[in-house]
Amino acid sequence: MENCGIGWENRVLDAALSASAQVSGLPVTNLRNQQGAPSLGWRVPGTAATLTISHPPAGPWRVFGLFRTNLSVAAQITVTLLSGGNTVWQGSAQGVANGQILLVAPQVVTADTATIAISDSGNPDGYLSIPLAYAGPLWQPVRNYSTESTSDRNLGVDSITTLGGPSLSLPAGISAL
């Protein structure tokens, strides 16, 4: 069973963004581009940076992710949520898979600012490339999704076993005489 969640209120798209560093042609405001091409993303000289997302008034936050990145497997992010300048939650995640890193808070946190500190000292490129970012709330359905789930109903199969012979399976709704 996989955990399912949908993030649709991306605060990165409409918040005030600032960064500790950026390349002049690839500023942090490029994170508002939802296509996520590395040539249109946020680029940082060096292997550490901080992204600050200010979105007053205070609202719900739960998920933080960086996607289509050049981060190495050893990269780490630390997220700090602030409300009125006071820290209300902090968490970190390590381990990048397929160019993405994700951090999910255990519950919804109300804050007006999020800072994401990115550290990747082992990055072979010598710079950070972040084309896509998500920071905001998460909606989770009551029932989880599984890759083994189907979108169709299976009402079952009637099976008849003969004495001393093989079994015969009939589609649902058809019965043997």
Q: What is the DSSP string of 32-73?
A: G-SS--GGGSEEEESSEEEEEEEEEEEEEEEEEEEES----T
* Amino acid code (one letter) for 48: A
Q: pTM, whole model, 2 decimals?
A: 0.78
Instruction: Give me the CATH number covering residue 37.
Output: 2.60.120.260
- Quote the percentage of the chain above a pLDDT of 70: 79
152 within a domain of the structure (yes/no): no
86 within a domain of the structure (yes/no): yes
156 within a domain of the structure (yes/no): no
151 within a domain of the structure (yes/no): no
Report residue 32: phi and psi, to 5°. -75, -10
Residues 6+ apart with CB under 8 A from 158: 169, 170, 171, 172, 174, 175, 176
150 within a domain of the structure (yes/no): no
Which structural domain, as residue segments, surrounds residue 70? 11-136
What is the chain's percent helix, strand, coil content, to nearest 5? 5, 50, 45
Q: What is the pLDDT of residue 142?
A: 72
161 within a domain of the structure (yes/no): no
Domain count for the chain: 1
123 within a domain of the structure (yes/no): yes
Report residue 47: phi and psi, to 5°. -120, 20
Hey, how many other C-beta atoms are within 10 angstroms of the C-beta on 139? 11
Determine how β-strand 101-119 pairs with β-strand 76-83: antiparallel
Predicted confidence (pLDDT) per residue in 100-141, tens digit = 999 999 999 999 999 999 999 999 999 999 999 999 999 877
168 within a domain of the structure (yes/no): no
Residues of the chain with pLDDT under 50: 1
